[in-house]
Copies of this chain bind each other. A is one copy, B any other.
Amino acid sequence: MNQMMTAAPKAKRVPVAMNGVDTPTLIATIKAVGGQPELAKFQFRATSRWVSGTRSESVMHGFYGAGGEHRHMAPYNADADHPTVLCGADTAPTPVEWLLHALASCITAGIGNIAAARGIKLNKVESTVEGDIDLRGILGLSEEVRNGYEGIRISFAIDGDATPEQLEQIVMQSKARSAVFDVLTNGVPVSLSVKTPASA
Which residues does chain B contribute within 8 Å of A109, judged by CB atoms? 53-56, 80-82, 88, 95
In contact, B197 and A164 (Cβ under 8 angstroms): yes
- Which residues on B sit within 8 Å (CB–CB) of A89? 20
Number of interface residues of A (CB under 8 A): 138
Question: Out of B37, B86, B101, B132, which one reaches A98, CB within 8 Å?
Answer: B101
Indicate how many identical chains form the complex. Answer: 2
Q: Please indicate the chain B residues that have their CB under 8 angstroms from the CB of A124 in the complex.
A: 49-50
Which B residues are CB-close (under 8 A) to A102? 80, 95-96, 98-99, 102
Chain A interface (Cβ within 8 Å of chain B)?
Answer: 19-22, 25-26, 29-30, 33-34, 37, 40-56, 58, 60, 63, 65-66, 70, 72-73, 76, 78-113, 122, 124-142, 145-159, 164, 167-168, 171-172, 175, 177-200
